[in-house]
Structure 1
Amino acid sequence: MASEEKSGNSIVETIKTVVYALLIAGVFRTLFFQPFWIPSGSMKETLLIGDFLFVNKMAYGYSYASCPSLPFAGVDAEDLCGFLKNDNNRIWGGEPERGDVVVFRHPVSGVDYIKRLVGLPGDTLQVKNGVIILNGKPVPQEPDGIFTETNAPQGPQGRRPGCENGPVALGAVCEKPRFVETFPNGTSHKILNIADLPADNTAVFRVPEGQFFFMGDNRDNSADSRLAQVRGGVGFVPYENLIGRADRIVFSSAGASMLYFWTWRGDRFLKGVH
């Protein structure tokens, strides 16, 4: 009888431990980190379709966009903290740095985007022949070989990549020129640029106070601040719309489902985002 009672207590304690662990994980996830799955190729090769990462909410503090959410209950951050919207302030706000890879909420559609922070408040920017002119000075780009990938449907949406050596047959090697871009603060990152497209030559932008200018690393495949919101782009992004900084890839899968273990990219697990 005693052994049965002991066994019953053991089961109860195990259930309690699991429940507590789930509660702690839920609090940890809603307060400090937000999961994000890369759905498009706009940040190649820094981020690939199928990369799974956690966004650091603590980096910039909290606003209506980064407020804790309850996704399992269908409750969005804006549902809980919508009263904070339109004041463009943050609680425990931290200052973003040029070169950060940031998840933010689109100012019009409310969809979550991930891009690289290029322009800070007060900056002037222009893109000429694919080169950023920042406050009147070109941002250096150094050739860094060729980025290659298979020309095949990628991710759940089945999108095929753009190729400089295209048109390329399905299953053939797709190539893109790669460059290392270095900002004035010393941070460097890799970018891809296939051809001279309209977004590679822009007007001069002046970033308003309290707003930011973002671009994708895959320059010819990114709807970003180079295009106004009314033209399908992002335009300037208010401070309050920032959700957090992408610091590390946790998991990566090249397949249409994360369950397809044979498509997992083991070399990208726990990889830092730069």
Structure 2
Amino acid sequence: MAEESKTSSTIWETVKTVFWALLIAGIFRTILFQPFWIPSGSMKDTLLIGDFLFVNKFAYGYSYASCPNIKIERIGLDIDAKNICGFLDGDNTRLFGSEPERGDIIVFRHPSNGTDYIKRVVGLPGDRIQMKEGVLNINGEPVELEDAGNFEEVLEAQGPLGKTPRCANGAVGVGGICEKERQIETLPNGVSHSILNVGPQRYDSTGVYEVPEGHYFFMGDNRDNSTDSRAPLTAPGGVGYVPFENLIGRADRVIFSSAGRSMLFFWTWRGDRFFEKLD
């Protein structure tokens, strides 16, 4: 009997330890920081496929989107943030809300499918946004651009999804050097960052987007390889205008980076990107 009691006590202590560990992790992830892996090249060369970062969730306050999605395909678990914090959804407001600044890199929930995206906010509520021959115009004025040479990378499968980059210098073949034109873009508030261009694309010239109140306009830094607010929600993969309540948090710094198919492949780690501050 004593042995059974000791075993039961050990099991109960293990259950309590796991419970409190999950609770603390859940609070940390919901209130403070959310881990995020970069799965695509839409933010190159600011963010590379395989970069890992923590999203600052208290930068803009809290909404239903602050709650985590819990998805474990192996056991069929799929709990959306709205299932947990849906009572906060619907009024496009935030608790302890603080508005983003133009140029912030933000993780947000897609307005229709709930997928987490990461892009740069270029349009604030009330702004008029337009692309003219590949140049971003904000409220009728083109942003400042400065040539910054080429961005080069090896044409090969990248990251766990095995995607290959698009190149401005044509079909170079696997193992060849893939180039993109790089420029430094300076937004009206003085925020400067690099952008990449491949060549003429559909959204290089657009009509005028008038950003509604309580919404934001997002674009990827890899301008010709980004599905963002330039594409309406009715378009395949389109993002459209993003409501204030859909913002999850701000990305401030790369914590870890790996160019391989797995973070365990230490020979693919990008040590020069560890703890790199984002602009």
Using the size of structure 2 for normalisation, the TM-score is 0.88
Given residue 188 of structure 2, which amino acid in structure 1 is its aligned partner? P
Shift of 1:27: 2.8
Instruction: Judge which range, 57-66 or 18-27, deviates more.
Output: 18-27
The residue aligned with 2:95 is 91
- Preserved CA contact (<8 Å) 1:178 1:192: yes
Q: Distance in 2 between matches of 1:212 and 1:134?
A: 13
Count of aligned residue pairs for this structure pair: 261
Shift of 1:141: 0.9
The residue aligned with 1:53 is 53
Given residue 171 of structure 2, which amino acid in structure 1 is its aligned partner? P
Evaluate the alpha carbon distance shift between residue 89 and residue 225 of structure 1 in structure 2; reply closer, same or farther with a 3 A threshold: same
Per-residue CA deviations over 1:144-166 (Å, capped at 9, x if unaligned) read: 01100000000111111001112
Evaluate the alpha carbon distance shift between residue 70 and residue 227 of structure 1 in structure 2; reply closer, same or farther with a 3 A threshold: closer
Unaligned runs of 5+ in 2: 1-15
The residue aligned with 2:268 is 263
The residue aligned with 2:257 is 252
The within-5 A match list for 1:24-35 is: 24-35=24-35
Which of 112, 115, 122 is the equivalent residue of 1:111? Answer: 115
SS in 2 for 1:267: helix
Q: Distance in 2 between matches of 1:70 and 1:40?
A: 21
Tell me if 1:81 matches 2:78: no
Given residue 203 of structure 2, which amino acid in structure 1 is its aligned partner? A
Shift of 1:86: 1.8
Q: Distance in 2 between matches of 1:229 and 1:17?
A: 44
SS in 1 for 2:225: coil
The within-5 A match list for 1:117-196 is: 117-196=121-200
The residue aligned with 1:5 is none
SS in 1 for 2:87: helix
- Preserved CA contact (<8 Å) 2:30 2:57: no
Per-residue CA deviations over 1:38-57 (Å, capped at 9, x if unaligned) read: 00000000000000101000
Shift of 1:266: 0.6
Q: Distance in 1 between matches of 2:126 and 2:19?
A: 49
- Preserved CA contact (<8 Å) 2:125 2:212: yes
Q: Distance in 1 between matches of 2:231 and 2:253?
A: 28
Which of 229, 254, 260 is the equivalent residue of 1:225? Answer: 229
Q: Distance in 1 between matches of 2:157 and 2:210?
A: 38
Q: Distance in 1 between matches of 2:28 and 2:88?
A: 22
Per-residue CA deviations over 1:93-119 (Å, capped at 9, x if unaligned) read: 011000000000000111000000000
- Preserved CA contact (<8 Å) 2:31 2:57: yes
Q: Distance in 2 between matches of 1:150 and 1:166?
A: 13
Per-residue CA deviations over 1:69-124 (Å, capped at 9, x if unaligned) read: 66688644322111221210100001100000000000011100000000000000
Q: Distance in 2 between matches of 1:225 and 1:35?
A: 24
- Preserved CA contact (<8 Å) 1:50 1:252: yes
Tell me if 1:239 matches 2:248: no
